[in-house]
Chains A and B, each alone.
Chain A
Amino acid sequence: SIARRGPTRPKKIDIGAKARQMQNRRLWTYALTFSCIAGFVVIVLNQFQDQLVFYLTPSDAMEKFAENPTKNKFRLGGLVLEGSVAQPAASQEMEFVITDLITDILVRYKGSLPDLFREGHSVVVEGFIKPYTDEVRKEVSTKPISKKARNLDCFFSATEVLAKHDEKYMPQEVAAAIEKNKKIIEAAATEQAAEVAAS
């Protein structure tokens, strides 16, 4: 009877403390695992930085093409040079110049253009860099604005043209008002310049 009364009676277990202990253990395990995976993803993304870009600027593309001329498929992004869109009578392909303000490159393309394709706006073109042949030289237009692009020894033969929208949204009336104000400011500036020149 002494043995039964003695140490055999179990101590009361605190369930709340037990649960908190388990929660803590889980918290640390999961936090460690998830931060490891997050770090892994960040490292992978950093490694493949080059492949993740959607398009290259014309300058970068020309550099890459100069390094390895066998790989000539590119996606170029840049501004369509204002006044450079032309449809030469000699060829079926239309042409325009895209620029990153350092390098200009002539793009030749046959097909339909998206709605947002405008001169002076961003565009992404997919296709191949090709050296000029005599045939192409004869076909391209002789606009003075695309002279810089024609002086390059290669052009870009596009298979797809995508327009890029910028982050600005405004109603038509506001856009018109801004254009009008810009013109007024410009006119005022030229007037002032003329006055300064006269005096």
Chain B
Amino acid sequence: MSVSLLQPSFLMSKTRSYAQILIGSWLFLTAMAIYLSLGVAPLDFQQGGNSRILYVHVPVAWMSIIVYIATAINTFLFLLTKHPLYLRSSGTGIEMGAFFTLFTLVTGGFWGRPMWGTFWVWDARLTSVFILFFIYLGALCFQKLSVELASILICVGLIDIPIIKFSVNWWNTLHQPGSISRFGTSIHVSMLIPILSNFANFLFLTCILFVLETRLLILSFLESSITEEIEAREGIPKPSSLALFASMAEWLKRPT
């Protein structure tokens, strides 16, 4: 069973048959997260409505770090095995991580402008996240020159992750220390739930995009015997959503 899970034809057919459920539940999660963070969550006693920015800022910051760790594992495995699947998924990780990091920096700045009184300061937390963004950008650029170089950069940059995590504890910074630790949280539950639901939402989106990227990679081996195998496994090709669109277009173009 575990071997058959790794087979491309199995992945292709299963992700296709579960696609509607997956995307549907992601849409539901998104709607719930937006409703929770904009409708249900109460105003903060100090910040007022500005605390709503944190419902996006915190999950996105977590995502940028989680995606980085996943990408570093991928690139390290690529360096060892030179398997194209690791290369492709690390490429996806770099793109998404760069986006998440930029989003973290921008939302943080917009929160800091009214709250701290400045958009940007060079304290340890902000600078280390800025460096993370540049590692992502550097890897994006190096990918076009040499994938090995980009992979090595990502692996070396892993040292930045503990620095980001502990920067607020090691040095005194303007950025507040982490609210959630092993010993409990200092965020009230009613404000923690929107953060967690947004986090689940982003995590789910990332997983879906990774799977889609893997599908693209498998489809790029069109000449191989995989496609035949998929067709054999699925039997008669089902009407896909694309086919539905095509039939809709035909229906619209029908002579009246």
A45 CA to B54 CA, complexed, in Å: 29
Q: Mark B146-176, 1 if CB is under 8 A from A, else 0.
A: 0000001001101100010000001111101
Using C-beta atoms within 8 Å of the partner chain, give the interface range for chain B: 35 or more
B44 within 8 A of A: yes
Stretch at the interface among B62-70, B76-84, B89-97: B76-84
Q: A52-B171, A114-B115, A173-B42 are in contact. Are A168 and B179 (CB under 8 A)?
A: yes
A126 nearest in chain B by CB position: B121
A114 CA to B177 CA, complexed, in Å: 20
Q: How far is the CB of A24 from chain B (nearest CB, A)?
A: 9
Using C-beta atoms within 8 Å of the partner chain, give the interface range for chain A: 35 or more
A114 CA to B42 CA, complexed, in Å: 22
Q: A23-B80, A30-B76 are in contact. Are A170 and B118 (CB under 8 A)?
A: no
A128 within 8 A of B: no
Q: How far is the CB of B131 from chain A (nearest CB, A)?
A: 11
Q: Find out whether the CB atom of A54 lies under 8 angstroms from the CB atom of B115.
A: no
B114 nearest in chain A by CB position: A115
CB-CB < 8 A to B76: which residues of A?
Answer: 30
Q: Find out whether the CB atom of A172 lies under 8 angstroms from the CB atom of B173.
A: no
Q: How far is the CB of B6 from chain A (nearest CB, A)?
A: 17
From B152, B172, B176, contact of A165 by CB (8 A): B176
Q: Find out whether the CB atom of A169 lies under 8 angstroms from the CB atom of B117.
A: no
Q: Find out whether the CB atom of A26 lies under 8 angstroms from the CB atom of B176.
A: no
B254 within 8 A of A: no
B44 nearest in chain A by CB position: A169
- Which residues of A (126-166) have their CB < 8 Å from a CB of B? 160-166
A174 within 8 A of B: yes
Stretch at the interface among B182-190, B200-208, B216-224: B182-190
Q: Find out whether the CB atom of A163 lies under 8 angstroms from the CB atom of B80.
A: no
B116 within 8 A of A: yes
Q: How far is the CB of A55 from chain B (nearest CB, A)?
A: 6
A113 nearest in chain B by CB position: B117
A171 within 8 A of B: yes
Q: Find out whether the CB atom of B186 lies under 8 angstroms from the CB atom of A169.
A: yes
A187 within 8 A of B: no
CB-CB < 8 A to A26: which residues of B?
Answer: 79-80
11 additional A-B pairs beyond A34-B155, A168-B179, beta carbons within 8 Å, are A30-B155, A52-B124, A52-B170, A54-B122, A114-B117, A163-B117, A165-B47, A169-B179, A170-B44, A171-B191, A174-B188
